[in-house]
Structure 1
């Protein structure tokens, strides 16, 4: 059934159709509409047989999910930004034990300074936590990825986070194709846990492990992620046969066949990039797009194969490693090592800054014209004059004070008041 619906409501509908038995939630913008909607669905009986737990924090939410999943029930939560970081200790516990929890991450910037708008800093900060990370380009894909995420998680007994851009997707109204309960039930079998706490057969889950076996446990976590590189495409193929549309998988390609220049990106920015690529194709430029749906595990072989015929690659990403450089860019560089191509890193859209077609067109014209230094990290639409004024202030001030407040004053604005 096709419906014009908010992205958060579409995800809540998808989760409802997957029949979770425990939802533990703590509200934080911009994921709050998801868990509010699920609360209503539990209250009204639309989501029957589910215990909804409103906990005291995001750490409590993930801890409750760990307990519920270990007890053998299908489990779900959602969070964003600082909430994801508050879960950090528990995230590693969930993956270390191998619990098939599904979580929505409504991607949002990490403070300080406080910022509630979209970038990918939160998910990237947790990229090595042992969770599978799937990134949605659209609300339709966000909906579809949740249905697939439960199957991936339960097939491999690993936790999965589905990342969707905060506000850009969560609060946007788009037409989506909502599946019915019979379709989802046919695709997603009832949950049968691979490990389960049982008073009649007591075991310890998450026990102390010393040097004699810790490396082996970590190796098996890695092995499961590598297995997911085969499992995720198979589940995406099953989804296509069942629902009649392509969604999920590891990568998506756009006008890539003869592309000399390729743009690599994750999330909703792919739609804008594709529009710019269309206009450049009309002008005769051989350029294409490689969208990364599965960031963890990193599909290195598939990325390498997709980029094998390119001469230059520009990675546009909404996060970076401070003091090091691009995150997706470095993964892409590792995957294409020894190939005769140049990989450039461009950071864009931090803290919700718009990534416009005009800015992208200027960037890609520079890339195609070989006018960007591949040894440098580049920032799209960076106000260099504003940065230089603050650097100058720091050089000459004995106590220069907080950068953010100085730059806001230079811009003639004040700090935005926003609360979770």
Structure 2
């Protein structure tokens, strides 16, 4: 059913149709509207058979999700930014215990400095936690990925993090095709846990494991991710049969078949990149796009196959590995090992900075002309940066960086567009 709806509400209504039995909620911008909507549905009776639990922190939200999942309940929660960090220990426990929890991360920058807008530093901080991580380009893809997330999580007994851009998607009103309950039920079977705590058949979950077995346990988590690489495309194909649309999968290409330059990215910025590519194609530039949906597990072989004919590859990412540069680009570089194709890392959009078609046009023309540095920070104000570096060289008590820069640019508090 086509409906004009906020992204968060669309996800909440889709989660409800997945029939969760426990929803753990702690509010943090910009995911709050999702759990608020689920709470309303539980209270009104629209969502039955579900216990909505208000907790005192993000750590508690994941801890309660672990307890619920361990007893055989279909569990869901959502968080963002500092909330991801606060529950980090429990995030690792959930995957280490092999519990099929589904969590929405409404991607938001991590402080300090404080910032409530979108980039991927929160999800990237947990990229090695053992959770599967999927990134949605649109609100339609976000709600579709959640349905597939429950299916795969429960099949493999492994948690899934569905990432959608904070504010850009979560608070955007657009038309989506909401599924029917019958469609969701046809695709997502009733939950049959691979493991559960039952007093009639007592077992231990979370045993102490020493060096004699720890590596084997960790390897088996990796093996499940390798299984997921095979199952994700299959589940996406089954999804299309039931719902009638392509969605999810490991990755997708756009105008890449004959492209000399291929731009790799994730999330909502892919829409802006595609618009820019269309404009450049009209001007005769052979440029295309590779959008990554599954960041974990990372589809090395599929990425390699998509990029092996390119003359140059640009990875545009909304995250920064301080001291080295790219995160997504590091994985892409591994996939391209031995191809001898020049590749470039472009860090963009940190803290919600706009990524415009004008900036992308300039960027892509530079790479075609061989003028792009291996690591580039899109639209970085070097005057501001160099002024602060000069200040630190000349004055020992140079003061806090963030406050100095805000003063240099003439504002006392950050402006939200």
CA contact (8 A) 1:251 1:293 kept: yes
Whole-angstrom CA distance in 2 between matches of 1:172 and 1:17? 21
Alpha-carbon deviations, 1:310-339, whole Å to 9, x = none?
010000000011001100011000110100
Q: Is the 8 A contact 2:165 2:267 kept in 1?
A: yes
Residue 198 of structure 2 corresponds to 198
Which residue of 2 is the match for residue 146 of structure 1?
146
Contact 2:333–2:343 (Cα < 8 Å) also in 1: yes
Matched residue SS, 1:354: coil
Q: How many angstroms apart in 1 are the aligned matches of 2:398 and 2:238?
A: 59
How many angstroms apart in 1 are the aligned matches of 2:266 and 2:114? 23
TM-score (norm 1): 0.98
1:73 aligns with 2:73: yes
Distance 2:9 2:260 in 1: 40
Look up the match of 1:276.
276
Measured after TM superposition, the shift of residue 417 of structure 1 is: 9.0
Distance of 1:369 and 1:152 partners within structure 2: 44
Alignment equivalent of 1:403, drawn from 379, 401, 407: 401
In 2, are the aligned partners of 1:311 and 1:340 still within 8 Å (CA)? Answer: no
5+ long unaligned stretches in structure 2: none
Asked if 1 retains the 8 angstrom alpha-carbon contact of 2:406 and 2:414, the reply is no
TM norm structure 2: 0.99
Mapped to 2, the partners of 1:264 and 1:304 lie a distance apart of: 12
Offset from partner CA, 1:368-420 (integer Å, 9 cap, x none) = 1111122xx210000000000000000001111101100100111012499xx
Q: How many corresponding residue pairs?
A: 416
Deviation sequence 1:201-256 (CA, Å, 0-9, x none): 10000110001000000000000011100011110000011111000000010001
Aligned with residue 381 of structure 1, among 379, 382, 393: 379
Alignment-derived partner of residue 48 in structure 1: 48
The unaligned stretches of length 5 or more in structure 1 are none
Runs of 4+ in 1 over 3 A off after TM superposition: none
CA distance in 2, matches of 1:339, 1:144: 34
Instruction: For residues 167-225 of structure 1, give each alpha carbon's deviation from its aligned partner in whole angstroms, at most 9, with x where no partner exists.
Output: 00000001000011011001000000000101011000011000100000000000001
Paired with 1:361 and 1:287, the residues of 2 have a C-alpha distance of 11
Aligned 1:321-332 pairs, distance under 5 A: 321-332=321-332
Calculate the aligned-residue CA RMSD, in Å.
0.8
1:134-213 equivalent positions in 2, closer than 5 A: 134-213=134-213
Partner SS for 1:184: helix
